[in-house]
Amino acid sequence: MTTPQEELNEVQTRFDSNLSKAQQLEQQIEQLKSERQQLQQPLVEDQGAIKALKRCVETTELEEE
């Protein structure tokens, strides 16, 4: 049978561990959000380039026919 002090120690250890994990996850989330934000502009630019290149390819194909 565990004493109240032992149970307190166990619960406190579990709490501290879970709190640490939660803080680490929060940091990872913030890092990923930052990385996602940094990708937004290149994605928009690439999307525009893809549209322009598709038009160019389609025009070239029509000219070749």
- Cα dihedral 40, 44, 45, 50 in deg (nearest 10): 140
Encoded amino acid at 47, one letter: Q
pTM of the model: 0.68
Per-residue pLDDT tens over the stretch 18-60 = 999 999 999 999 999 999 999 999 999 999 999 999 999 999 8
Chain centroid offset of residue 3 CA? 44
pLDDT, position 38 = 98
pLDDT of 65 above 80: no
